[in-house]
Amino acid sequence: MKYNSDILRQLHEELRDVLRETVRVMDEAGIPYFIQGGTAIGAHFFDDIVPWDDDIDLGITREHYERFLRVAPSLLREGYVLQEYTTDNNTPFYFAKVRKVGTRFVEREWVGLPIADGIYVDIFPYDLIPDDVRLERRQRRRVKFWVNCFTAKSVWLWRWFGRANNGVVMPKSMVSCAAIRLVTLFMSKERIYQRLNRELTRYNTTAAARYNIVRMPKDMIARTAIEHRELRRFGDMELWAPADLESYLRNHYGDIQKWLPEDKRLNHAPEILHFATPISSDSSERISVVIPLYNKEQEVERALRSVINQSLAPREIIVVDDGSTDASVAIVERIIEEHKGISIRLVRQENSGVSAARNRGIAEATGDYVALLDADDEWLSGYIAEVCRLMEYHPDSDAYSTAFYIVNRGRRVAAAVPTTEGLIDPATEALQGRYPIIPSTATLRRSTVQRIGGFPEGMRLGEDQWLWARMMQEGATFCFSPMALVCYSRTATNRSATIYRSETSAHSIEQLYDANQREELNEYIARVGIGKALTQSVRGGTEDAKRAIEAFSYTQRNRRQLRRLRVINTLPRWMRPMVDGVYSAAAWIFKKRGL
């Protein structure tokens, strides 16, 4: 993950805060710790946290680690908690973390687990490993297996014999997955924890020369290096490090460098990041959030709270109620009352359609940019921060967007989007089956949208793609991030009506065609128009579909879809949904098989 600079600065402050409290407890209890991993790299090269890192790693030898687990809960000040299996039996981690209450830092694979999830410092137990390489490898294999079993009692992360949590699939053979599944079926988590610790500590009574986290093949530290620790500067603190720190680092990382290439600057990439006190930046203060609302009582609270919980706060949130008849407005008013310190405005109007609601919000906005969010979708906590980061690198763009997930009946699937970051052409990408922008991923320059005239009011389908096409016609530039930070709901209430109603808009997709503009844009317009006409035809809009068939007969890249539209539009109304569904299923199978 590439952090926005303001977010990373605040995260580092929070990490130092947790580190100070953790070290205070260890010093008070006389527990000899040492820095390791990326934290040791930071101390060696930067005398501080590695500029792109997002966690802190400490190590303790086993006997002192067990003592730390006993004394830390009573010594930690209010606002900090120790997380380890003995204090939180839902945890998927076999090692300890000290977390800060009131913050959140959740990687994608752990989202949804009922555990403490604040910003944390990792604390790893170090055990002696055998000097015999063969025995060392055998121990490591066993430890890895039991670690996987321990994790699997909380969450499944592999392809076989279960659904991976949030779509996170880690590499593991079918045989290994079967073994893990069998163990977790017949053994309790407590028993697995005991077996794991037995394997970790197998050689602790020997005269072995090296300590390790055991499951890590290269994280070895000489016993003498731990027995003769040395102080290292780390920001405004001094922390204990293994003696001859550079030798440890070279053994662990190989050819160590101070400044890695950007593509090798790895971190934990949290899906949820939330600070105890929301922060804003010059960039985020330029963003107004617009949420159009119509009868979304089941979803609007989720959407609105996803904006409130952004790690980087926007300038304002504008909810435009488009004549809701359910409890949606009452829910929004309650949330506004709960969060008086946040600028949330509720604007009400008679029912005029989603385009009119968006345009009203854009007109009410005071920011230079408007970030759109449909009331049945949601943002992950880093969305605005990622948009602000894109603004830092591409300040002249007219539209910023991120990758997104498609959520259907609780299952989340990554949408087909571009794989690279930077300036993109939505028309070219869409013709390749990649969709870089939808309303809930879009942050738009307000002046550009207003110059075009906003969304096409009265248009019921394709109004967003109409706007993207018009922006491209006006020479607008689009910037994209492949970080998936939006959840687009396909199962939300009243997402799609099944009864056809003719449009009463002064605008149409067909009118966007211009023989003098580039071919890719005309083909994109045809793709959008044919897709819209298919939906209209299935719902009974035969005449509208006929007009689309005639208008987009010029297409060369969408001939197959045009033929599909012609066939479906000739069928009786009652047959169209069934035939279209069969066609879609067959097309999906052919695509999966590369046909």
Under 8 Å between Cβ of 133 and 307: no
Q: Which amino acid makes up residue 396? A: D
3-state secondary structure 104-127: EEEEHHHCCCCCCCCCEEEEEEEE
Beta bridge partners of 78: none
- Tokens 């014999």 belong to 161
Which whole number is the average pLDDT over 366-380? 97
Please enumerate in sequence order all residues whose Cβ is within 8 A of that of 535, keeping only pairs 6 or more positions apart, or say none: 461
Under 8 Å between Cβ of 158 and 146: no
The pLDDT of residue 497: 46
Please enumerate in sequence order all residues whose Cβ is within 8 A of that of 74, keeping only pairs 6 or more positions apart, or say none: none
Query: Residue 157 — pLDDT band, cuts 50, 70, 90?
Result: confident
Helices 189-200, 133-152: axis angle to 10 degrees equals 160
The pLDDT of residue 3: 77
Query: Residue 189 — pLDDT band, cuts 50, 70, 90?
Result: very high
Note the pLDDT tens digit of each residue in 26-44: 999 999 999 998 899 999 8
Average pLDDT of every residue of the chain: 90
- In terms of Cβ atoms closer than 10 Å to its own Cβ (0-12, 13-18, 19+), residue 160 is middle
User: Residue 492 pLDDT > 60, yes or no?
Assistant: no
Cα dihedral across residues 243, 249, 255, 260: positive or negative: negative
Under 8 Å between Cβ of 202 and 192: no
Please enumerate in sequence order all residues whose Cβ is within 8 A of that of 288, keeping only pairs 6 or more positions apart, or say none: 314, 315, 316, 317, 318, 361, 365, 366, 367, 369, 370, 371, 446
Please enumerate in sequence order all residues whose Cβ is within 8 A of that of 585, keeping only pairs 6 or more positions apart, or say none: none
Note the pLDDT tens digit of each residue in 43-71: 989 999 998 888 999 999 999 999 999 99
Nearest-angstrom CA–CA distance, 443 and 456: 18
Note the pLDDT tens digit of each residue in 318-340: 999 999 999 999 999 999 999 98
Under 8 Å between Cβ of 424 and 478: yes
User: Residue 494 pLDDT > 70, yes or no?
Assistant: no
Nearest-angstrom CA–CA distance, 70 and 506: 71
158 Rama class: left (phi>0) / alpha (psi -120 to 50) / beta: beta
Note the pLDDT tens digit of each residue in 527-545: 999 999 999 899 888 998 9
Of 91-95, 168-172, 427-431, 479-483, the least confident: 168-172
Helices of type H across 453-575: 463-473, 519-538, 542-551, 559-570
Kindly state the DSSP code that residue 311 receives in the 8-state scheme: S
Helices of type H across 205-326: 223-227, 245-253, 300-308
Nearest-angstrom CA–CA distance, 38 and 562: 55
Beta bridge partners of 239: 232
In 3D, which of 474, 478, 377, 381 has the Cα closest to residue 437? 478
Pairing of strands 344-348, 316-321: parallel
Under 8 Å between Cβ of 529 and 509: yes
How many CB atoms lie under 10 A from the CB of residue 340?
Answer: 8
Terminal alpha carbon distance of the chain: 35
| 348-352-357 Cα angle (round to 5) | 55
In 3D, which of 449, 433, 436, 528 has the Cα closest to residue 486? 436
Kindly state the DSSP code that residue 164 receives in the 8-state scheme: P
Note the pLDDT tens digit of each residue in 431-484: 999 999 999 999 999 999 999 999 999 998 899 999 999 999 999 999 999 989
Query: Residue 139 — pLDDT band, cuts 50, 70, 90?
Result: very high
Nearest-angstrom CA–CA distance, 401 and 84: 38
Under 8 Å between Cβ of 84 and 270: no
- In terms of Cβ atoms closer than 10 Å to its own Cβ (0-12, 13-18, 19+), residue 76 is middle
Nearest-angstrom CA–CA distance, 384 and 4: 9
Residue 300 vs residue 250, higher pLDDT:
300
Which whole number is the average pLDDT over 577-590? 84
Domains defined for the chain, CATH in brackets: 5-265 (no CATH), 284-506 (3.90.550.10), 508-595 (no CATH)
Q: Which amino acid makes up residue 16? A: R
In 3D, which of 166, 213, 205 has the Cα closest to residue 61? 213
Under 8 Å between Cβ of 470 and 452: yes
The structure tokens listed for 236 are 């405004």
Which whole number is the average pLDDT over 418-424? 93
Q: For the chain, what percentages of helix, strand and coil (3-state, to nearest 5) are there?
A: 45, 20, 40
In 3D, which of 400, 417, 538 has the Cα closest to residue 488? 417
Under 8 Å between Cβ of 56 and 100: no
CA distances from 282 to 312, 389, 401 (A): 10, 11, 19
In 3D, which of 409, 468, 407 has the Cα closest to residue 435? 468
How many CB atoms lie under 10 A from the CB of residue 395?
Answer: 9
Which whole number is the average pLDDT over 349-358? 96
- In terms of Cβ atoms closer than 10 Å to its own Cβ (0-12, 13-18, 19+), residue 535 is middle
Note the pLDDT tens digit of each residue in 16-27: 999 999 999 999
Of 379-388, 462-471, 580-589, the least confident: 580-589
